[in-house]
């Protein structure tokens, strides 16, 4: 029975379902218990599942991920919350040197089904370290999977799939979309976790995005339609692995690609997409793959973030440039 719910609520319901279904699933993090998380994503879970399933941890990110690895080695399936994007770095060592590699090091004997939830991205007027998009830093590491839903339904289902995965999954939650509502059908048959989806069909140019930028791209496509341009919008959903087949299929149709993300453009996921699509679709492309994203600068103070973040005009400018070739 489908129900309209905000993304934060959808993740909450998804965690609830997972905790209910499997006694080995744990939720861990700073403030996830009584408070329900600073965004209330875990609201009410500790009340219903108890302190040993929904665990308030000490303020130590490396400790959270490191102990989650130990719990996973013992057969648990921890879902840990890093409170904000910029706070993941104390845990980066555990994620990169341990979580990502232990399955390979053990020649497959050890599985680490750990989900690391990271509310990420800007647009909410936060102070520094609360608005970053570090997904490329994780996608670069073999052994990790990196996903980011753009809507409530995906948030719900991708969380189910991430928890069921035997691989560590970095689950980036676009915090500025937490309060956007959409239908969630808990009985639906979800798309595979790493499959991209065309969210708007078009013929003139492809906009590829994930997480918080999908909505922006949909708005851009709507605005472009008023100017008589038909843009296709692709929600990548997964950054690693990335569904290049879907991007290729779209580009073979539209012959133009603009990738949009909040993270800095330099060495970002857009660079990887541009390179691979150029390899795959060189003779189909009528313009170089263009990228719209953040600048090579620290994420700015809140009063400047609107300048930093991709907005409608920057996306449409890129569309104009691409189509002008």
Which residue among 5, 11, 33, 49 contacts other proteins (CB under 8 A)? 49
Question: What are residue 292's phi and psi, to 5 degrees?
Answer: -125, 125
Task: Check binding of 240 to other proteins (CB under 8 A).
Answer: yes
Q: CB–CB of 237/154 below 8 Å? A: yes
| C-alpha dihedral sign at 55, 61, 62, 63 | negative
Task: Check binding of 203 to other proteins (CB under 8 A).
Answer: no
Largest CA distance in the chain: 60
Tell me the window of 44-52, 212-220, 260-268, 297-305 that interacts with other proteins (CB under 8 A).
44-52
Task: Check binding of 270 to other proteins (CB under 8 A).
Answer: no
Query: For residue 268, what are the contacts with CB-CB under 8 A and spacing of at least 6?
Result: 136, 261, 291, 293, 294
Q: Which long-range contacts (CB under 8 A, 24 or more apart) does 103-110 make?
A: 103/143, 103/167, 104/142, 104/143, 110/73
The separation between CA 132 and the C-alpha centre of its own chain, rounded to angstroms, equals 12
- Of 66 and 190, which CB lies nearer to other proteins in the complex structure? 66
- Of 92 and 321, which CB lies nearer to other proteins in the complex structure? 92
Residues 157-176 that bind other proteins (CB under 8 A): 165-167
Compose the 6-35 pattern: x for residues touching other proteins by CB under 8 A, - for all others.
----------x--xx--x------------
Angle between helix 7-21 and helix 152-164 axes, rounded to 10 deg: 30
What's the min distance (Å) between Cβ of 61 and other proteins?
9
Number of helical H runs and strand E runs in the chain:
12, 14
Instruction: Respond yes or no: is residue 130 known to be catalytic.
Output: yes
Please name which of 109, 97, 93, 83 lies closest in space to residue 31, comparing C-alpha atoms: 83
Q: CB–CB of 110/73 below 8 Å? A: yes
What's the min distance (Å) between Cβ of 18 and other proteins?
12
The one catalytic residue in 129, 130, 140, 261 is 130
Q: CB–CB of 232/206 below 8 Å? A: yes
Task: Check binding of 57 to other proteins (CB under 8 A).
Answer: yes
What's the min distance (Å) between Cβ of 324 and other proteins?
33
Task: Check binding of 180 to other proteins (CB under 8 A).
Answer: no
Residues 58-77 that bind other proteins (CB under 8 A): 58, 60, 62-63, 65-76
- DSSP track, 19-65: HHH-TTEEEEETT-SSS--TTSTTTTHHHHH-TTTEEE--S-HHHHH
What's the min distance (Å) between Cβ of 154 and other proteins?
18
Residues 279-318 that bind other proteins (CB under 8 A): none
**Rounded distance between C-alpha atoms, residue 81 and residue 89, angstroms:** 13
Tell me the window of 127-135, 217-225, 235-243, 299-307 that interacts with other proteins (CB under 8 A).
235-243
Compose the 108-127 pattern: x for residues touching other proteins by CB under 8 A, - for all others.
xxxx----------------
User: Binding-site residue total for other proteins (CB under 8 A)?
Assistant: 55
Question: So which residues are the catalytic ones?
Answer: 130
Residues that bind other proteins (CB under 8 A): 16, 19-20, 23, 48-53, 57-58, 60, 62-63, 65-76, 90, 93-94, 97-98, 101-111, 142-143, 145, 165-167, 194, 240-244
């Amino acid at each position: 029975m489908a129900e309209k719910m905000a993304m934060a609520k959808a993740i909450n319901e998804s965690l609830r379902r997972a905790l209910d279904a499997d006694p080995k699933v744990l939720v861990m993090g700073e403030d996830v218990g009584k408070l329900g998380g600073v965004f209330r994503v875990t609201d009410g879970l500790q009340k219903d599942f108890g302190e040993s399933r929904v665990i308030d941890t000490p303020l130590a990110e490396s400790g959270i991920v490191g102990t989650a690895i130990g719990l996973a080695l013992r057969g648990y399936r921890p879902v840990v919350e890093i409170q904000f994007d910029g706070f993941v770095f104390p845990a980066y060592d555990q994620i990169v040197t341990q979580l990502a590699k232990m399955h390979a090091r053990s020649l497959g004997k050890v599985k680490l089904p750990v989900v690391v939830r990271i509310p990420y991205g800007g647009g909410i007027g936060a102070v520094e370290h609360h608005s970053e998009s570090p997904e490329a830093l994780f996608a670069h590491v073999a052994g990790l999977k990196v996903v980011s839903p753009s809507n409530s339904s995906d948030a719900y289902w991708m969380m189910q799939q991430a928890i069921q995965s035997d691989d560590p999954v970095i689950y980036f939650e676009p915090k500025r979309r937490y309060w956007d509502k959409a239908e969630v059908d808990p009985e639906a048959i979800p798309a595979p976790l790493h499959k991209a989806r065309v969210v708007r069909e078009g013929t003139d140019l492809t906009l590829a995005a994930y997480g918080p930028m999908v909505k922006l791209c949909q708005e851009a496509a709507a605005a472009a339609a008023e100017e008589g341009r038909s843009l296709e919008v692709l929600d990548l959903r997964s950054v690693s692995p990335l569904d290049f087949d879907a991007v290729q299929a779209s580009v073979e149709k539209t012959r133009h690609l603009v990738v949009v993300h909040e993270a800095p453009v330099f060495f970002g996921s857009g660079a990887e997409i541009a390179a691979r699509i150029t390899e795959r679709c060189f003779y189909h492309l009528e313009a170089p793959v263009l990228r719209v994203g953040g600048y090579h600068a620290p994420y700015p103070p809140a009063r400047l973030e609107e300048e930093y973040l991709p907005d409608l005009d920057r996306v449409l400018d890129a569309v104009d440039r691409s189509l002008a070739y």
